[in-house]
């Protein structure tokens, strides 16, 4: 018994000393990268670069969503609309694609692109930094591609986001592996997949298995816990 008490005290002391050690902190759920996306012409060159397909693998991302005709999908952080035509084709005329952006110039661009490409089921949405402004209980899939690390207060954000999901809905996060790489942002802008999973679990989700693998990024699927 004495040995057990000593072990408990030693363990508690180690935790206390670790918590008080210089530099010790829980990982932040604030954004690791913040940019202005108001210059649409500049970001078109980045987001719609034909070379992007080789590392982004958009067809694999859409496959991971397991979409069917008539479904409602939200692309949060849609950028210039890189994925919108593909999503539009998969959900069909009875489906809806919400293309969500917080930058008004990008929302205008998304509308113009949808009109130009004839994707009538793509609905641009001007979200806010704290909420994507999606209809409650309607969205079957919420997709975030290269966007998760731009969100502040992610645990609270994704708690609120649950209200938009239809029963059985998913959130799919595609972001950068935390390692030095030939494409993507610098290392300190990347989040480890373990941190993403931890934050999503704290927000009330559980991970689902997926067979889709990407060369430079993780693709993680979550659904709300019952």
**For 95-152, what is each residue's pLDDT tens digit?**
999 999 999 999 999 999 999 999 999 999 999 988 999 999 999 999 999 999 999 9
Q: Name which of 4-18, 61-75, 120-134, 173-187 the model is least confident about.
A: 4-18
Q: Which long-range contacts (CB under 8 A, 24 or more apart) does 114-119 make?
A: 114/81, 114/84, 117/84, 117/85, 119/84, 119/85, 119/88
Is 60 exceeded by the pLDDT of residue 162? Answer: yes
The whole model's pTM is what? 0.85
Query: Rounded to whole angstroms, what are the CA distances from 50 to 73, 78, 99?
Result: 24, 17, 21
Task: Give the rounded distance of the alpha carbon of 21 from its chain centre.
Answer: 32
Three-state SS across 97-108?
EEEEECCHHHHH
Interval 193-203 mean pLDDT = 97
pLDDT of residue 35: 63
Domain limits, the chain: 31-224
Is 90 exceeded by the pLDDT of residue 9? Answer: no
- Of 31 and 2, more confident: 31
Is 70 exceeded by the pLDDT of residue 83? Answer: yes
Interval 45-57 mean pLDDT = 89
Residue 123 host element (H or E): strand 122-126
Per-residue pLDDT tens over the stretch 172-195: 999 999 999 999 999 999 999 999
Is 90 exceeded by the pLDDT of residue 5? Answer: no
Average pLDDT of every residue of the chain: 87
Is 70 exceeded by the pLDDT of residue 31? Answer: no
- In this prediction, residue 47 has a pLDDT band, given cuts at 50, 70 and 90, of confident
Q: Hunting for tokens 């005290």 — which residue is that?
A: 9
Q: Which residue from 90, 97, 100 is spatially nearest to 66, judged by alpha carbons?
A: 90
In terms of CATH architecture, what is 31-224?
3-Layer(aba) Sandwich (3.40)
State phi, psi for 220 to the nearest 5 degrees: -115, 135
Is 50 exceeded by the pLDDT of residue 22? Answer: no
Interval 69-97 mean pLDDT = 97
């Amino acid at each position: 018994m004495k040995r057990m008490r000593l072990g408990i005290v030693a363990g508690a002391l180690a935790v206390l000393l670790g918590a008080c050690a210089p530099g010790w902190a829980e990982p932040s759920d604030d954004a690791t990268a913040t940019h202005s996306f108001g210059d649409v012409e500049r970001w078109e060159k980045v987001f719609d670069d034909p070379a992007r397909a080789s590392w982004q693998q958009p067809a694999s991302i859409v496959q991971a969503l397991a979409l069917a005709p008539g479904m409602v999908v939200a692309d949060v952080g849609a950028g210039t609309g890189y994925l919108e035509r593909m999503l539009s084709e998969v959900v069909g005329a009875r489906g809806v694609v919400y293309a969500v952006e917080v930058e008004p110039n990008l929302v205008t661009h998304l509308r113009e692109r949808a009109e130009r490409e004839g994707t009538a089921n793509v609905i641009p949405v001007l979200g806010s930094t704290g909420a994507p402004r999606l209809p409650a209980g309607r969205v079957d899939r919420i997709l975030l591609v290269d966007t998760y690390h731009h969100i502040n207060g992610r645990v609270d954000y994704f708690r609120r986001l649950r209200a938009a999901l239809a029963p059985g809905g998913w959130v799919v996060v595609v972001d950068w592996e935390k390692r030095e790489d030939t494409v993507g942002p610098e290392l300190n802008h990347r989040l480890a997949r373990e941190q993403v999973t931890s934050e999503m679990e704290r927000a009330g989700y559980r991970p689902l298995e997926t067979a889709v693998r990407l060369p430079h990024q993780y693709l993680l699927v979550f659904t709300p816990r019952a």
